[in-house]
Amino acid sequence: MNPGANPDAKQLKGIQMKKLTSLVALAAAGALLLTGCGSGSSNTPSGSAGDTDAMKTCLTNAADTVSQGTSGNTSSTITPSTGFAADATIGISLPQKTSQNWVEAEGMFNKALPAAGFKSTVQFATNGVADQQNEITAMISQGVSVLVVGAIDGSQLGSQLDAAKAAGITVIAYDRLLTNTNSVDMYVAYDNYKVGQLQGQALLQGMLATQGDPPYNIELIAGSPDDANSKPFFDGAMSVIQPGLDCGALTIPSGQNTQTQAATQGWLAANAQKRMDTILGNNYTDTTLNGILSPNDTLARAALASLSSAGKSDEKTVITGQDSETASIPLIMQGTQYMTIYKNTQGLVDEIVKIVQQLQQGQPVTVNDTSTYNNGVKVVPTDLLTPQVVTAANAADVYKNDTTREPCTQTPVPASCQ
Ligand code: BGC
């Protein structure tokens, strides 16, 4: 279900909200306000106890709809390869280094693939889509047996992927779906819709726990529009947040409630910070901002910088994140960033290496989702891994086997985590 997919309904809702806000303003002089749609500080009770309770129940119920645990819906097997040499070269094409996970993947592939007997070539498309197209073409000429692609823009690689298929190469979409192409054999990723749901859930739970009684003011940040993951992140989060908007327990004072309006081109912190600066300047000079939906840690830190320069750090705005970046973990422990998501990159790399070994033998590969990931041309067989929520309460436990992250939960914070 994608509540963001119906702009007309959303616009209508915005208009209704504005009308309601005007009515509230008129009534404010002497009335007990019966709605959560006002734009004043949410820490000032604005409704009766019954309304507050109803809003709390609304938000709690919305948060409770999200289940933790396994992803995927239908187990099945596919056999995309008849086998290849045990010392074959595996090509890994990654996007720009927009977050720590991509940087870590390089080292992990370069270690795990040779350990399994393969040669690896890992490249980043630092200069954009054309760079990635050229790198893939070069990998095909080099004779790779499997192409693992984390695309900048999964819709822009069609002819290169067709060439790969024509050369008998197995094509795996890594973390981000490859769209509008038949030439992708499978998709391996953490469940990105679930990531969004968990962020939405944590946002509501975090505000209920730390921001006093609802109603709450929130703002939304979305990922780069060319990244196929940005939509499932946003839609997953909105599936939890929308009921709170509908019942009046949440308001978005900027009115920027669509993925397009909230987008952050290139996943760049500077773009998110600039937009948030404008939103704060236009809407929050005398209003509390209770929560920000941020799709990842890099953008969460950008939002924190924006709040700080607006002099709003004391509001302890609840901010979500993703990636368990070492720079965000101390902020989570201090309560500055509310949560992140753990999508252990080693787990994803190990899964790819296991699949490559099966492909090498010409064996069937098990996928666990055969219906969700329609790339515009076909449903791509998908192997989904399960993301985990991390807050200050469980960080030390979740990261206990991660020697890079566990130290970042400690005080004093090691230099490697800043
Ligand atoms: C990844 C996220 C990452 C983002 C920016 C997404 O496709 O799934 O983990 O934060 O790209 O690099």
The per-residue pLDDT for range 138-186, each reduced to its tens digit, is: 999 999 999 999 999 999 999 999 999 999 999 999 999 999 999 999 9
| pLDDT of the residue at 47 | 57
Q: Per-residue confidence at 4, pLDDT binned at 50, 70, 90?
A: very low
- Alpha carbon of 236 to those of 229, 231, 270, 370: distances in Å? 11, 8, 25, 19
Given a contact cutoff of 8 angstroms between Cβ atoms, the answer to whether 319 and 303 are in contact is yes
Average pLDDT over residues 257-277: 98
Average pLDDT for the chain: 90
Which CATH number does 49-68+192-343+406-417 carry?
3.40.50.2300
Local structure of 157: helix, strand or coil: coil
| End-to-end C-alpha distance for the chain, whole angstroms | 38
pLDDT at site 45: 42
Q: Which residue ranges does the chain devote to CATH 3.40.50.2300? A: 49-68+192-343+406-417, 81-184+344-385
pLDDT exceeds 60 at position 22: no
How sure is the predictor about 208, in pLDDT bands with cuts at 50, 70 and 90? very high
Average pLDDT score over residue span 248-274: 98
Q: Which residues contact 327 (CB under 8 A, 6 or more apart)?
A: 100, 297, 301, 417, 418
The ligand 1 atom nearest the CA atom of 190: 8
Ligand 1 centroid to residue 242 C-alpha, Å: 23
Spatial contact of 195 and 236, defined as CB atoms under 8 Å apart: yes
Among candidate residues 163, 125, 158, 124, the one with its CA nearest the CA of residue 376: 158
Which residues are CB-contacts of 16 (< 8 A; sequence separation ≥ 6)?
Answer: none
Tell me how far apart the alpha carbons of residues 174 and 382 are, in angstroms, rounded to a whole number: 10
Query: What percent of the chain has a predicted confidence (pLDDT) above 90?
Result: 86
> Closest ligand 1 atom, CA of 175?
8
Reply yes or no on whether the pLDDT at 34 is more than 80: no
Cα 174 to ligand 1 centre (Å): 11
Rounded to an integer, what distance in angstroms lies between the CA atom of residue 58 and that of residue 65? Answer: 11
Q: Which CATH number fits domain 81-184+344-385: 3.30.70.20, 3.40.50.2300, 3.90.45.10, 1.10.3720.10?
A: 3.40.50.2300
Pocket test for ligand 1, best of 190, 323, 337, 345 (most atoms within 8 A of CB): 323
414 Cα to the center of ligand 1, angstroms: 25
Which residue is closest in CA terms to ligand 1's atom 3?
A: 99
pLDDT digits (tens, 9 = 90+) for 227-238: 999 999 999 999
385: pLDDT strictly greater than 70: yes
Alpha helices in 184-268 (DSSP H): 192-210, 230-246, 259-262
Q: Provide the angle, in degrees to the nearest 10, between the axes of the packed helices 297-309 and 269-283.
A: 40
Report percent pLDDT > 70 for the chain: 89
The pLDDT assigned to 170 comes to 98
Q: Whose CA is nearest to atom 10 of ligand 1?
A: 296
